[in-house]
Amino acid sequence: MFKKTHLRSLLGSILIGAMAAISTPAMATNEAMLDLLKILKDKGSISAQEYELLANAAKADGEKVEGTINEMKADVDKKTKNMPKITTKGKFKVASQDGDWEFQPIGRIFWDYIANDNDGGAIGTYGDSGFELRRARLGMQGKYKPISWKAEMDFADQTGLSWKDVWVAYNGKMDHGKWWVKLGQAHTAFGHATISSSKYMPLVRRPLFADGPQHSRRVGISAYTEGKRWFAHTSYQLPGLNDDNVAGATEDRTTLAFRLGGTPFKKDKKHLLHIGGSFMHEELNGDRFNNIDNNLVSHLGDGDQLEWDNAEGTVVEVDQVDAFGAEAIGVWGPLHGVFEYVAWDVQTKSAGSYDLDAFAFDVGYFFTGESMKYKTKGQFSGITPKKSVTKGGWGAWQLAARYEQMDLRDGNRDGGEAEVFTVGLNWHPTSNTRVMADYATTLDIKCGGVAGASTTCDGATGTEPSAFTLRAMMYY
C-alpha cells in the first residue's frame, strides 16, 4: 500500500513527464511553467535539485527560442527594409519607411435632403425641396521630399467637372518652424470660414459672406510659414480654373491677399484663444464685381438672395476692391466659438465707392465630451469620437448654432440686408463619417424700397424664408 508521500511523488512525476512531452520550446518560456514547478517543489512533489534542473532547462529552452525569434525578426526587418508602409486607419496611404515619399487617394461624398419654405418670397423656385449631391470629390495627394502635390476634382457640380486643389509645393524648415511655397490652384489667403475644409464645418453651410463674396481658390503662387503659436499666409493669384470670363475682362483680374494669426492664449490643445486678421486687394480693371451673391438659407433652388450686382441690374464697372477681415476662435473643452467680420471697400470707375460688410458668430458644444481640433494654421481638423459606434459606443454628438448679418446696401445700390439664424445637430458615428441636421431661418430681410437706388437683390422685405437640411457624409 502506497504512502501519501509516495503517491504525491508519483503524481508529480507523471504530471511533469506529461507536460515535458507535450510542451514546445515556446511553452517552456512561459511564466506559468516556472510558477508550476515552484508550486510542486514547495509541496514536496519534486526535490529542490529536480526543481533547479527543470527550471534551468526551461530557461535555456526559452533563451534558445528567444534567440531564434530575434534572428527571424532581424531577417524579416532586413528583407522588408525597403518595402513601403501602408496605413489604413481612417485613410489609405502608402509611404516609404523613411517617410521621404508618400501617396494617398482622397475623396468625399455629401448627400443632402433639403426642405425649403420661401414664406412668400420673391422667387417661387426657392420653395423646391429634394435631394442634392452636394459634393462628390476624388483626388490624390502625395510628396517626394521636399516636394508635395495635390489634385482633386468635384463631380457634383451641375455645370460639369470642377477643379479644386491642383498645386505643387516646395516645403522646408527653419528655426522657427516649417514653411512652403505653392504654385497652382490653391486657397486664397483670406479669412477663416472660406479657407476651412467642408469636412470639418459644424454647420451644413458656411456664413453668407463666404463661398460667394470671398474667393475660395484661384490660380497663382502662395506662401505659408508658421511658428509654435503663430502663422502667416499670403497669395498672389489670377482667376481660378473654373472661372468664366465676365465682360471679357476676367483674365485681367488679380488678387493679392494676406492672412496672419496666432494663439495669444493656449493652455493646451483643448483650451485656447486664436486671433487673426486678413487683407485682400483685387484689381478688376473695369470688370463686374458679381461675386457678392448668396442664397440666404439653402444651396438648393434659386431663392431669396443678397446680391450687390447682377445681370438684370445696371452694370457697374469696378476698378478695385479692398477687403478687410477679423477673426477670433475660442476652444474650451467641448465648447467652441468662432467670430468673423468682413468689410469690402468697392471702388468703381465712375460711380464712386461703396462700403459693404458682414459678420457671423458660431458656437458649438459636444455633449459627449470631445473637442474641436484646432491647428496652428487657424483651421479645424477632424473629430475623433471618444467611443465610435464600431467599438460599441454612441459616437460624438454636437450641438451648433450661428447668428449672422450681411449688409449690401449703400448709396444708390441696394443689394439687400439680412439676418439669418441657424441651428444644427451633428452625429459622428466614426472619425470619417457624419450625419448633420440643420435648420436655418431668415430673421429679417430688406430688399428694395430705397429711394433712388438700383435694386439688385432678390427677395421680399418682411418675409422669413427657411430651410431644413439633412446631410449624410463620408470622407477619406
Contact yes or no for 368/388 (Cβ under 8 A): no
How many CA atoms does the CB half-sphere of 146 hold within 13 Å? 9
Distance CA 208, CA 418 (A): 10
> What confidence score (pLDDT) does residue 282 get?
92
Quickly tell me which residue has 511553452 as its cell: 27
**CA 17, 22, 25, 26 torsion: positive or negative?**
negative
Quickly tell me which residue has 522646408 as its cell: 172
Domain ranges in the chain are 4-83, 91-475
> What confidence score (pLDDT) does residue 291 get?
62
User: What kind and span of H or E run contains 181?
Assistant: strand 178-187
> What confidence score (pLDDT) does residue 164 get?
94
Looking only at the bridges linking them, the beta strands covering 454-455 and 413-428 are: parallel
Count CB neighbours of 6 within 10 A: 10
Distance CA 196, CA 186 (A): 12
Homologous superfamily of the 91-475 domain (CATH): Porin (2.40.160.10)
> What confidence score (pLDDT) does residue 251 get?
60
DSSP structure string for 38-96: HHHHHTTSS-HHHHHHHHHHHHHHHHHHHHHHHHHHHHHHHHTTTSPEEE-SSS-EEE-
Quickly tell me which residue has 490652384 as its cell: 185
> What confidence score (pLDDT) does residue 245 get?
43
> What confidence score (pLDDT) does residue 400 get?
99
Low-confidence ranges of the chain (pLDDT < 70): 1-32, 60-67, 76, 79-80, 120-127, 212, 243-251, 288-294, 301-304, 310-315, 452
Backbone angles phi, psi at 423, to 5 degrees: -130, 140
Amino acid (1-letter code) at residue 5? T
Amino acid (1-letter code) at residue 180? W
What are the contacts of 38-47 at 24+ separation with CB within 8 A?
40/12, 40/15, 40/16, 43/8, 43/12, 44/5, 44/8, 44/9, 45/8, 45/9, 45/11, 45/12, 45/13, 45/15, 46/12, 46/13, 46/16
Distance CA 40, CA 38 (A): 5
> What confidence score (pLDDT) does residue 65 get?
64
- Please state, for a pLDDT cut of 90, what percent of the chain lies above it: 54
Distance CA 78, CA 420 (A): 62
Show the cell assigned to 301: 433652388
Report field, pTM of the whole predicted structure over 0.75: yes
Quickly tell me which residue has 473643452 as its cell: 333
> What confidence score (pLDDT) does residue 124 get?
45
Q: Where does residue 383 rank: exposed (0-12), middle (13-18), buried (19+ CB within 10 A)? A: buried
